[in-house]
Amino acid sequence: MAKLFRTAVAAGAVAVLAFVTTPAHAADPGQLPYPSTTGVGVHNSYEKATFPYFADALDSGAGMLELDLWTNVFGASWRVSHSNPLGNDNNCVNATNVGELRNKAQNRDLAGCLSDIKVWHDANPGHRPIVLKLELKDGFQGNAGRGPAALDALLTGKLGDALYRPADLVGGHSDLDQAAQAGAWPTRAQMAGKFIVELIPGTVEEQNPFDTLWTDREYATYLRDLKAAGRLREAAAFPAVHNAATGDPRTRYTDASIRPWFVFFDGDASAFSGLDTSWYAQRNYFVLMTDAHNVAPAIDGTNPTEQQARDRLALLAQRNASLISSDWHGLKPVLSSVVARGAAQ
C-alpha cells in the first residue's frame, strides 16, 4: 500500500511539473483572453489594388481590416479613400445580400462598407473576431454632423450586436483600464462573430497645426462623459494611443481623467521593438504593431515567403503584439494564423 501511495504521489508530482513547465505556445489561442493572442491584419484593405472587393478582405482570414475616413466639410458623408479627401475610392459596394458582394459598383462611403460587412457577417455566423481599424484622416467634424456620437449611431445602425463595445469590457468596472487589468476580456473563442472598432488619429490630422483636438483625445473624452451619464452602452469603438513611446504613453494626455479610457495601443512595430512591451501584456492591453515587415531584418512588405511571414509573426508575438499588420494580402494561410502572445513559437 505504501509503495502504491508513493507511486501515486510521484506520478502526481510529474503531472504537476509537466503542467507548470508546459511552454505557453502550447496553449489553445481560442482559450486565451483576446489581447493575449497574436493575429495578422492587412493595411489599407479597402483599396482595390489590395482586394478587388471588401468581401475578399473579409474572406481573407485577416484578423484586422483597415478603412481610412475623411470627414471634412468639402465632401458629403464619411468618405472612404486613401488620398481623395472629397470622394470615395474603395472596394465597397453597399451590398444588401450575398449575391451583391461582388456584383455592384464600388467606391461607396462608410455606410456602404458597413453594409458589406453586415451582409458578410450574417452569411458567416461564428466568424473569427475582426478588428475594424478606422483611421480618421482629418479627424472628427462634429460641426458637420460627423462627430463621435454620429459615428456610433452609424456603426450601431449597421452592425448592431455584431459589435464588441467598450461597455462589454467595462461591465461593472469604473473604466476600460480597470476592466482590462482585472482580466475582464473574453477569450478569443468567446469573441467569435464579433467586430471591434479601433480609432486612430489620421496622418492629416496629426500634421494639422490648427487641429488641437485629435481623434484619440476627443473620443476618449466622449467615452468618459458617456460613462458619467450612464450611457456607455451607446459607444461603439475603442480609441487607441497612436505611436509607441517609453513608459506609459497615456501620460501625453494632460487631462488625466481620460487616460483610463485607453487600452488599445497602435504604432510602428520597429518602434515597439525597442521598448519593454511586457508592460502591455501584464496589464492585458491590446497592442497593434504596424509595418511588421520593416522590423530588422526587413522582409518584403507585400510578397514575402510564407515562412518569412510566419517567422515575423512569431517574433512579434514574443514582443507582445496582439495584432501585426502589413500588406501581405496574398498570404491567406498567414493572415488566418493566430498564436499565443508572449510565447516562443
pTM, to two decimals: 0.92
Q: Render 247-269 in DSSP notation, one character per residue.
A: S-GGGG-S-GGGGGG--EEEEEH
pLDDT of residue 5: 34
**With left for phi above 0 and alpha for psi between -120 and 50, is residue 217 left, alpha or beta?**
alpha
Alpha helices of the chain — where are they, by DSSP H?
Answer: 2-20, 54-59, 110-123, 148-159, 166-170, 176-181, 203-206, 215-228, 269-272, 278-282, 306-318, 332-335
User: Could you tell me which residue, 4 or 293, shows the higher pLDDT?
Assistant: 293
Query: Using 50, 70 and 90 to split pLDDT, how confident is the model at 345?
Result: low
pLDDT exceeds cutoff 80 at 155: yes
Mean pLDDT across the stretch 319-334? 98
Question: Is the Cβ–Cβ distance between 123 and 55 less than 8 Å?
Answer: no
What are the CA-CA distances from residue 47 to residues 79, 91, 330 (Å)?
A: 13, 6, 14
Q: Rounded to the nearest 10 degrees, what angle do helices 148-159 and 215-228 cross at?
A: 80
Helix H or strand E segment including 107: none
pLDDT exceeds cutoff 50 at 27: yes
Q: Position of cell 515587415?
A: 293
pLDDT exceeds cutoff 50 at 241: yes
Of 69, 224, 37, the C-alpha closest to 133 is: 69
Environment class of residue 36 by beta-carbon count within 10 Å: exposed (0-12), middle (13-18) or buried (19+)? buried
Residue type (1 letter), 334: V
Distance CA 34, CA 129 (A): 9
Environment class of residue 161 by beta-carbon count within 10 Å: exposed (0-12), middle (13-18) or buried (19+)? exposed
**Cα angle for residues 123, 55, 152 (degrees, 5° grid):** 80
Distance CA 173, CA 169 (A): 9
Distance CA 122, CA 22 (A): 39
pLDDT, tens digit (0-9, with 9 covering 90-100), for 171-215 = 999 999 999 999 999 999 999 999 999 999 999 999 999 999 999
pLDDT of residue 26: 53
- The rounded percent of the chain whose pLDDT value lies above 70 is 92
Q: Which residues pair with 239 in a beta bridge?
A: 199
Q: Residue 225: which residues within 8 A CB-CB, separation 6 or more?
A: none
pLDDT exceeds cutoff 60 at 10: no
pLDDT exceeds cutoff 90 at 145: yes
Distance CA 162, CA 134 (A): 17
Distance CA 304, CA 301 (A): 7
Going by their DSSP bridges, the two strands 37-42 and 339-340 should be labelled as antiparallel
Of 127, 113, 128, 121, the C-alpha closest to 63 is: 128
pLDDT of residue 25: 42
Cα dihedral 33, 330, 301, 51 sign: negative
Question: Is the Cβ–Cβ distance between 125 and 33 less than 8 Å?
Answer: no
pLDDT of residue 344: 63
pLDDT, tens digit (0-9, with 9 covering 90-100), for 69-111 = 999 999 999 999 999 999 999 999 999 999 999 999 999 999 9
Q: Which residues pair with 266 in a beta bridge?
A: 242, 288
pLDDT, tens digit (0-9, with 9 covering 90-100), for 279-315 = 999 999 999 999 999 999 999 999 999 999 999 999 9
